[in-house]
């Protein structure tokens, strides 16, 4: 397939050139009740960025499932946390995974951090018709490694539903339980004896689990962490060298050591 030079390496432009929209924006009055993914957050700790989310998805006042993976690995140095409609968010994640890999293979180098940030913003803007109708709203958090600094540093970005992106200073949270989490993060960073940015990995994991426990107390849409029920979070850690997934055994151990 011949690819015009002006779109070489740009997966989203390639889709547009062939009239293939990355996201469908057709909505009817008979649209079903939406499934919503809730409560994700990220914060800087001593070794990088920890990104976490509960596993609950709801539709109105009904719990759909407690097994949703809301922190998604896009490439070797990029994470996406989703809050909003999972169907739309998961499709965005798949498009970004393909876009990042397409660029890497076609240009023999990874996409820059600013380009990755804008790629997600572009998908959110393309989703604007559904967002304005209240259908398919997604409010994500993105983290990736800035290779222009020495040493390379993980950065956190948060977005509004229309695609505006912002560099987070220390932490970000979104979803129905985010207000409780942001309040605790702000207090701990300003006045806590151990600031999140100074925590070790085990301390950061324990803190993240307790944040979700706190959010679940005040928000019924947030799935709590309950070791007795084998209920834990999705936690991934981004450092300058890559991504590590924190499994249930390590989460259980972090709480047990408290």
Measured in degrees and rounded to the nearest 5, phi and psi for residue 246 equal: -95, 110
Contact 84, 135 (CB under 8 A): no
The Cα–Cα gap between 245 and 237 comes to: 6
Q: Which of 138, 119, 116 is nearest to 127 (CA)?
A: 138
Rounded to a whole number of angstroms, the distance between the first and last alpha carbons of the chain is 58
In sequence order, what are the residues at sequence separation of 6 or more whose Cβ sits closer than 8 angstroms to the Cβ of residue 243?
A: 73, 76, 77, 79, 236, 237
In sequence order, what are the residues at sequence separation of 6 or more whose Cβ sits closer than 8 angstroms to the Cβ of residue 213?
A: 224, 225
Q: Which candidate in 25, 35, 38, 222 is catalytic?
A: 38
The Cα–Cα gap between 147 and 212 comes to: 31
Contact 146, 113 (CB under 8 A): yes
SS3 assignment, position 50: strand
DSSP letter (8 states) at residue 198: G
SS3 assignment, position 163: coil
Asked about 58 being catalytic, the answer comes back as: no
- Cite the active site residues: 38
């Amino acid at each position: 397939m011949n690819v015009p030079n002006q779109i070489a390496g740009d997966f989203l432009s390639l889709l547009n050139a062939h009239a293939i929209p990355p996201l469908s924006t057709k909505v009817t009055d008979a649209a079903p009740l939406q499934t919503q993914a809730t409560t994700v957050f990220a914060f800087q700790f001593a070794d990088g960025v920890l990104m976490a989310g509960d596993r609950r998805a709801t539709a109105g006042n009904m719990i759909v499932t407690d097994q949703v993976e809301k922190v998604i690995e896009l490439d070797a140095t990029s994470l996406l946390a989703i809050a909003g409609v999972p169907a739309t968010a998961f499709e965005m994640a798949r498009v970004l995974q393909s876009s990042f890999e397409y660029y890497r293979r076609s240009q023999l180098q990874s996409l820059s951090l600013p380009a990755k940030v804008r790629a997600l913003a572009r998908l959110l803007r393309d989703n604007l018709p559904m967002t304005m109708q209240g259908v398919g709203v997604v409010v994500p958090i993105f983290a990736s490694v800035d290779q222009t600094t020495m040493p390379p540093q993980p950065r956190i970005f948060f977005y509004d539903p229309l695609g505006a992106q912002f560099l987070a200073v220390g932490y970000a949270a979104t979803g129905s339980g985010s207000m409780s989490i942001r309040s605790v993060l702000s207090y701990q960073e300003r006045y806590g004896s151990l600031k999140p940015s100074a925590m070790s990995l085990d301390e950061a994991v324990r803190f993240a689990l307790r944040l979700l426990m706190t959010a679940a107390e005040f928000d019924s849409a947030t799935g709590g962490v309950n070791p007795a029920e084998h209920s834990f979070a999705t936690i991934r850690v981004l450092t300058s060298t890559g991504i590590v997934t924190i499994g249930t055994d390590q989460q259980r151990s972090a709480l047990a050591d408290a």
